[in-house]
Structure 1
C-alpha cells in the first residue's frame, strides 16, 4: 500500500480525492490536512460532508511543524488541493523530503513563468520546478507521469478541451489558420467551497466570465500547440463541465478520418467516444469518465465533451496519475 497525505482536504476536490483513495485497493490515506488558520481544523471530515458518515472518519489536522515530520516519516504521496500560491511553496518543501507531489492547483502547469503574474496574479518564485514538473493528462502523458516526482494535474476546462482536440491534432486534421472556439460551461463547484456572493447558488445565472483573460487559455494553447478562443461560463448547477468546440478541418478530411482519430482512445477505459451521440452533463456527474461526441458538415466539426469537474477535472485524474506512478493501469480503483 502506498500512503497518501491530502493537503486542503476540506475542499470539494479534497473530499472527492479522499473518497476515491478510501476505496482504492493500493492507496491508503495517512492523513488529511488543512491550513493552520482554517476554521475546519480539528473537525471530522464527516462533519463537513455528512454523506460520508459511517464510511470515512478522519480528523482534519492543521499543517503545523510536527505534521511535516509525520508526513516525512509516513507518506509516499502528497496531494495538494490548495490555492495555487500555497501549492507553489509547499511543493518545494515536500519534494525536499523525496515525496511524490501531486498538485491539483495551477502552480506548475505552465512553462512560461511570466504567465503566472499575468494570469494568476503572483510571481513564480520556484521557476526551476516548471521544467521539472510533468503534466498529468493521464491518457497522453503516461510515460512522463510514471517516473515523475512532481505531477501538475491539469485544469478542469483544459482537460475536457485537450481530450477532445488532441486526437485531431495528432492526426493533422485541423486547419491551423482558423481559430478553434471552445465554448465551455461549468457547475458552481468549480469556484471552490469558500462562499462569496458571486458563487452563491441563488445569485448565479448562466453567464460568461474571464473573456480573453482566463488562466486556462494559455494552458490549453501550450499543450495543444494551437491557440484557441476559450470562453468559460458558470451555470446554476452544482457540478460538471460541458464544452462545445468548433473546429475547422482541412478540406480533404473525411468522416472516416475523424472516426479513426478518436480510435486513439479505444483501449482506454475512462474515455467514452460516443461519436454522433452527444454527451450530457448528467451522463458524467459522479463518474471519472470523459464523454466525447461530434458531428461534422463539410469541413466544419463540432465536438461536444463532458466531464465531472471535481473528478476527471481534479480528483480522479490525480488518482490516475498516482496509479501510473505506481506502475498500475490508470483506471485502477476507479471502475
Structure 2
C-alpha cells in the first residue's frame, strides 16, 4: 500500500469522502463531517445504479445544512478524488468495503471502514459468519480495530470501526475482565435489543416498522458474536433481538464474579476504565435507549448480588455504534480533539 499519506497542518481542513452516503450510517457521517470544524465533506457516493441527487433530497431535514451531491460510485472515482481527499469513510456492505479499501489505500487515502470486512483477525471465520471467503487476509492484521475507549496503539491507514452490538457489549464487560474480577469459567450471557434502523434503510417486510414487535434472532450464529468474543478473550452466549423502535441498542450482560469480589472493586473497575473517557457515562439508574438516541454516548449501569453481576449498556446504534465512533477515530487519526463535532450533533440525527 502507499506510504505517501496526506499530511495536515494545524489549521488545514481534513478532506473527506463518504461511500454509502444514502444509507443511515453514511448519512449520519455526512452530517457529522459537516458539523465538525476540522473536516470538510468533499464527496459523497451511493451505489453505482443510483442517479446523482442532493443529499437533502434523500434526507429533507438537512436542507440548507448538508450541501453535498450524492453521486454514483464507480472505481473510476478513485482517480478523481486522489490528492483531493485525505480520508474515505466506507459505510458499505462488507464485501464491497473489502474490495474498495485496498484501492483507496493505494491512492494514499486513509480508510475508515464501518463494515465488518476487517474486524475479525481470523480469515476462516468469514465464511461461517459473513457468508464469503475473505480475499485480503493480510489486511486483517494491518487494520486496527477502533474501539476508541480501549485503543492501545496508533491508528494506521486502515481503521476498522467496531460493530454496534459489540460496542455496547464490550464497553460493558471489558473493565471487569481487565480487572480480573470475572470468574475464570464464566461464559457471559448477553441479551441485546436493537431498533429497526440496525437493519439498514432498504425496505424489507421483516423490518417494516408495522411488522416488528419484539423477537430474538441469530441464535449462536450472529456475525457479531465472534467479534465480541475476540474483544473479550472468551466465549459468550449472545442473543440479539429486534425491537419496535427506530434507533438504539440496549444490552443486558450477566457474568459470575470471582468469590469475594466486592461492590467497591466493581465500581473501581468501571471508574478506572472510564474516568477520562468523555463518551462513556456511568449512570445511577438503568439506561434507556431514549436517553442515548441522537447522542454519541454509551451509558453503563450495573447491579451486583453476591457473585452475580448484571451490566446494562445503551448506545445509539447509528452514532456510538457506527458514525460517531468512526468520527471519533478520524479525529484522533488526524490529531484533532477526540470529540470534535460530536457534542454539537446530539439530537440532530437522520431519523
Flag whether TM exceeds 0.5 (same fold): yes
Matched residue SS, 2:269: helix
Partners in 1 of 2:84 and 2:207 — Cα distance?
Answer: 37
C-alpha distance in 1, partners of 2:267/2:14?
A: 39
Match of 2:118 among 90, 93, 108: 108
Cα drift, residue 178 of structure 1 = 2.0
Q: Secondary structure at the residue paired with 1:173? A: coil
Maintained 8 Å contact 1:108/1:130: yes
Structure 1 residue 268, shift from structure 2 partner? 1.2
Paired with 1:329 and 1:173, the residues of 2 have a C-alpha distance of 33
Instruction: Specify the alignment match of 1:270 in structure 2.
Output: 279
Among candidates 128, 132, 135, match of residue 125 of structure 1: 135
Of 230, 235, 246 in structure 1, the residue corresponding to residue 243 of structure 2 is 235
Contact 1:176 1:226 (C-alpha < 8 Å) held by counterparts: no
CA distance in 1, matches of 2:216, 2:75: 42
1:67 aligns with 2:77: yes
Q: How high is the TM-score relative to the length of structure 1?
A: 0.97
Give the match for residue 88 of structure 1. Answer: 98
Q: Deviation at 1:107?
A: 0.2
2:32 to 20, 23, 43: 20
Q: Is it true that 1:326 corresponds to 2:334 in the alignment? A: yes
Cα deviation for residue 66 of structure 1 reads 4.2
How far apart in 2 are the matches of 1:10 and 1:168?
Answer: 38
Matched positions, count = 330
Stretches of structure 2 that go unaligned for 5 or more consecutive residues are 1-12, 344-351
- Structure 1 position 56, deviation (Å): 1.2
Q: Secondary structure at the match of 1:73?
A: coil
What aligned pairs does 1:1-335 form with structure 2 within 5 A after superposition?
A: 1-38=13-50, 41-145=51-155, 148-263=156-271, 264-274=273-283, 276-335=284-343
More off after superposition, 323-332 vs 87-96:
323-332
Please list every run of 5 or more consecutive structure 1 residues that lacks an aligned counterpart in the other structure: none
User: What is the SS of the residue equivalent to 1:82?
Assistant: coil
Query: CA-atom RMSD, angstroms?
Result: 1.0
Q: Which runs of at least 4 in structure 1 moved beyond 3 Å after TM superposition?
A: none
Distance in 2 separating the partners of 1:187 and 1:49: 19
Instruction: Answer yes or no: is the 8 Å Cα contact 2:78–2:107 preserved in 1.
Output: no
